[in-house]
Structure 1
């Protein structure tokens, strides 16, 4: 019944024909149950293609006259998901934001590709937990057999789908890539997770053919650049190569100044030597920079060395401004600095700055989003504990990525003191200026002056 209704809606809304590809125009439409935003944004990579407002029935429609075949993202803030589009497509999506990914259903041209891509995404989420709880403990040959078995299940399903639907060459490349790079990533991670799970002193000896798939790795597939399994594989693969080459070839003297700097420089040069696709290179270089700047606080002189090296190998990086903003944000959150004077809104819809809120008292700022109920409920449980541990501090919650009215409903349902809660409408500015990585972050101030700009509510 759902499929019939969806197909009928596609026909009525966009006038699609059962004959595929009779024009180059792409029609992409949908219906959103419980919308969290009034518009849908379509992106290709990091570039906005178009936006569409929801109508009074919570429906949207894109009519695209000239686009490149391939992988796109549609964004309904704060969530997003893939959509694969080819010229001539008429495609419909229906979803309920309460169960965003699980409720997604595509109908129309290329529904098979999109639904299978979504099925792979959901299967990976489920398998990830078993990888960490069970499979990484296995011996190398048993682990390889398990990975091969899981991969073959997906390959067989794709073959069946293709025999019924005759997918395009581009779609098959995308779906095969999603399968292969998902399972190859697990093998890149295996030596580290296995060592951790088994508490072995050294890395386990691996069979000679353990990484045989590396002979087929494509470091420049433009069509896969923004496919999550491909990108995640590249991160794990390059981390593995950098670590193992350093372990085998670098003496301890080379790393006395800063192990972190030494390792990250290795990784920068590996990306430079192996990865040929410009956007993938830029994204991977960005990942290394964020990882270095955020996870390990190195000496200022080492950070300068890293940024100089970064700019040398990653010329004209499209993320350079963002990375420099991050560096500036970290510098501005050092002890004895005044907390950035950012605007937030109170429960009573009054605008205040963080500097005003933090004046004349000790404050612990924490951050949460209404998009993940499990996460924010855990945060508020932790805050209740911190209230007892830090009676001399005012614990101030700053909400991000949530509609203002929805935020107020959550505050009311939780029964927390609304006078200690504020809402930000500018997620990007707050994230950049306060360096909100990870979301468990806390900032501690005394009379608006920073005491600790990189605390964590679970480590206080």
Structure 2
């Protein structure tokens, strides 16, 4: 209800570009091949705007009046994708959920910038392994490689501008998807370089390496919920916090290895450099979640950090979420009883987690989703190997963020043991109960008692 009210407020307060007060309508529709849900839901930032049901031909359509120009996203569970909308757009999308992003194509008025955003997303996804191989290179060579890749995309954007009429805000969004994805690689560089080369010290990078920082806007309201921008902000504040702490708090690295100390640095820097309230609060939340998930163990230090977070954040929902997360971490400590929740088996019967793990003395619970195909395939192989090494263990797979029919199809396609595969419908409930923070996470139990709730499929067994 809160999201619906927010959406109505947003729509009612948007101004119209036309002087006579009549708002140009926006049409957004399309076709979804192999749908995984009955609905398409449209959001502006994190506010609900509208939802429509697919018709008998798997088509959908929105007609919107008086919307604000900018970035939206549409959700067809379990997938979502960005869409840029402005007055007068008449936009059609076609996609196949088997290859959601790869198959997504827009046509009609407003399609140019949207197809460009999809192209850039796929380009950076394809380049990721290549960029990873660049990290051992010296700073100046690495920088040239990244700049060269960026320049190719800038040239592509210039061609788009020459052939299409983009609004200033649409052009800025298109450029942002290029810039911030490229900048992320440079923010990562000192840490990935050290890891891949085995060097003991961080490179003293010259000002030219970070020259782009002079042009970044840490308070860009239009990009608050844009993933490349937010990911850049996370890496940027992590980088400058680390370097500042290394310089000012002792060169023996003791301070930067102290997670409480280091994450307080991040809170202070965000507090001092970011003025836009919503961006501040989202960054504060991210820092708090990251700190608690990596700490895992309740302590006075954790509580001190939460207290500091509460004084800085102005978002009451975030404060409640962090409090809930910390309580969840406390409940998942060794020798506590495993949380319980409902799942479904391949016969569409409801079972509880405790019923499943209570059958065996030793159980490893792991999680997977259809939207992350490579990690899913890798984890399935890893589980097969672990079953050989630990025949006395029961391995239970819980699927999340996938429709029940698609999950059943994948269980059959990959020849998974139906007796040990279960479907979770309520992702949020399961995520918070089991503190699912990474795709490799697993939970080791003895009967229904926790042995290690923060284990890793690749390192803990």
TM-score (norm 2): 0.90
Q: What's the CA shift string for 1:351-380, capped at 9, x where partnerless?
A: 121122222532222222233343333222
Which range moved further: 139-148 or 210-219?
139-148
Residue 201 (structure 1) shift: 2.3
Determine the C-alpha separation between the residues in 1 that align with 2:62 and 2:55: 13
Residue aligning to 2:135: 136
Determine the C-alpha separation between the residues in 2 that align with 1:457 and 1:408: 23
Residue aligning to 1:361: 360
User: Which residues of 2 match residues 18-417 of structure 1 at below 5 A?
Assistant: 23-133=23-133, 135-251=134-250, 259-298=258-297, 300-316=299-315, 318-359=317-358, 361-362=360-361, 363-417=363-417
Judge conservation of contact 1:272–1:314 (CA < 8 Å) in 2.
Answer: no
Residue aligning to 2:6: none
Determine the C-alpha separation between the residues in 1 that align with 2:206 and 2:371: 43
Q: What's the CA shift string for 1:206-256, capped at 9, x where partnerless?
A: 233222222222111111112222111111111111000000000379957
Provide closer, same or farther for how the CA distance between residues 315 and 218 of structure 1 changes in structure 2, counting only shifts above 3 A: same
Provide closer, same or farther for how the CA distance between residues 163 and 256 of structure 1 changes in structure 2, counting only shifts above 3 A: closer
Q: What's the CA shift string for 1:271-327, capped at 9, x where partnerless?
A: 111112222212211211121111233551111011011111123354222222221
Provide closer, same or farther for how the CA distance between residues 140 and 120 of structure 1 changes in structure 2, counting only shifts above 3 A: same
Residue 157 (structure 1) shift: 1.9
Determine the C-alpha separation between the residues in 1 that align with 2:147 and 2:444: 49
Provide closer, same or farther for how the CA distance between residues 299 and 403 of structure 1 changes in structure 2, counting only shifts above 3 A: closer
Which range moved further: 399-408 or 105-114?
399-408
Residue 431 (structure 1) shift: 0.7
Determine the C-alpha separation between the residues in 2 that align with 1:266 and 1:260: 10
Residue 267 (structure 1) shift: 0.2
Residue 101 (structure 1) shift: 0.9
Judge conservation of contact 1:258–1:302 (CA < 8 Å) in 2.
Answer: no
Which range moved further: 241-250 or 106-115?
106-115
Which range moved further: 78-87 or 402-411?
402-411
Judge conservation of contact 2:27–2:90 (CA < 8 Å) in 1.
Answer: yes
Determine the C-alpha separation between the residues in 2 that align with 1:406 and 1:216: 45
TM-score (norm 1): 0.90
Residue aligning to 2:442: 442
Q: Secondary structure at the match of 1:319?
A: helix
Determine the C-alpha separation between the residues in 1 that align with 2:151 and 2:396: 50
Residue 415 (structure 1) shift: 2.8
RMSD: 2.1
Determine the C-alpha separation between the residues in 1 that align with 2:147 and 2:397: 46
Determine the C-alpha separation between the residues in 1 that align with 2:121 and 2:51: 25
Q: What's the CA shift string for 1:391-424, capped at 9, x where partnerless?
A: 3322222121222122222222333332222211
Provide closer, same or farther for how the CA distance between residues 451 and 137 of structure 1 changes in structure 2, counting only shifts above 3 A: closer
Q: Secondary structure at the match of 2:218?
A: coil
Determine the C-alpha separation between the residues in 2 that align with 1:355 and 1:333: 14
Which range moved further: 24-33 or 447-456?
447-456
Query: Structure 2 stretches of 5 or more lacking a match?
Result: 1-21
Determine the C-alpha separation between the residues in 2 that align with 1:274 and 1:343: 44
Provide closer, same or farther for how the CA distance between residues 348 and 48 of structure 1 changes in structure 2, counting only shifts above 3 A: same
| 2:450 is equivalent to residue 431 of structure 1 | no
Judge conservation of contact 1:28–1:90 (CA < 8 Å) in 2.
Answer: yes
Judge conservation of contact 1:141–1:207 (CA < 8 Å) in 2.
Answer: no
Residue aligning to 2:14: none
Residue aligning to 2:455: 455
Determine the C-alpha separation between the residues in 2 that align with 1:254 and 1:123: 37
Determine the C-alpha separation between the residues in 1 that align with 2:23 and 2:377: 50
Residue aligning to 1:10: none
Total equivalences in the alignment: 439
Which range moved further: 411-420 or 107-116?
411-420
Q: Secondary structure at the match of 1:137?
A: coil
Provide closer, same or farther for how the CA distance between residues 256 and 140 of structure 1 changes in structure 2, counting only shifts above 3 A: closer
Query: Structure 1 stretches of 5 or more lacking a match?
Result: 1-21
Judge conservation of contact 1:33–1:58 (CA < 8 Å) in 2.
Answer: yes
Judge conservation of contact 2:399–2:422 (CA < 8 Å) in 1.
Answer: yes
Judge conservation of contact 2:91–2:110 (CA < 8 Å) in 1.
Answer: yes
Q: Secondary structure at the match of 1:443?
A: strand
Determine the C-alpha separation between the residues in 2 that align with 1:320 and 1:50: 27
